[in-house]
Each structure stands twice: as C-alpha cells, then as structure tokens.
Amino acid sequence: MEQPDAVIHQPVRLKIMSALKALPAGTQLEFVRLKALVGATEGNLGAHLQTLETQGYIASEKDFVGKKPRTRITLTKEGRRAFEAYVDYLRDIVGNI
C-alpha cells in the first residue's frame, strides 16, 4: 500500500473501525454505544457509517426492541482485512523512521 486507505484514514471513520476491530469477529455494536465511543452526532455518525457500508467495510442491521428502533453495526471480513492493511501501512511508516 503506497498511501493509507482514504476511507479509513478520516478521523471519525478511523475511530469507528478501531472500535469495531477491538471486538471479536462478528460482534455487533449498537449505534448508540458507537456514537458515545467516537463522540459524533447522530447525523455525522450516520454519514460515516454509510460511507463505510458502501465500501463494504461494515454491515448494519436494523430492528426494533419493543417500539424503539435499534441499529447494530459489525465489521465485515473485508473491513477487518482493510483495517489490518491500514495498520500495517502505519507500522511500515514508523519502521522507516
């Protein structure tokens, strides 16, 4: 990789990917919890999640708990590989200093 993945490199998306990568593969994180972790507004987080989902890095599942809507996010296999490649890229930079 000659340059960092531009989709992941954006600060909020990097926080999202980091939070999801810290979980065991396949684990879902609720939107509300993710919002608190990354410190984003609902609209801002939603826009970043859409970008990541369009890229195939995350998947979202929407359902209801009683009458309340719930959105859960998970890192896809492709997203996990992309994040690992991103981290490897950063390690290479540090290793060349």
pLDDT in the model for residue 97: 65
**Would residue 1 count as lying in a domain?**
no
In tens, the pLDDT along 9-49 reads: 999 999 999 999 999 999 999 999 999 999 999 999 999 99
**Would residue 10 count as lying in a domain?**
yes
In tens, the pLDDT along 39-58 reads: 999 999 999 999 999 999 99
Long-range contacts of 51-56 (CB under 8 A, 24+ apart): 51/7, 51/13, 52/7, 52/13, 52/16, 52/17, 52/79, 55/7, 55/79, 55/82
Range of the domain at 89: 6-95
**Would residue 67 count as lying in a domain?**
yes
Q: Rounded distance, CA 49 to CA 51, Å?
A: 5
Among candidates 48, 35, 63, which has minimal Cα distance to 7?
Answer: 48
Q: How confident is the model at residue 8 (pLDDT cuts 50, 70, 90)?
A: very high
* Residues 11 and 95 sit within 8 Å (Cβ to Cβ): no
> What CATH number did the domain enclosing 72 receive?
1.10.10.10
**Would residue 39 count as lying in a domain?**
yes
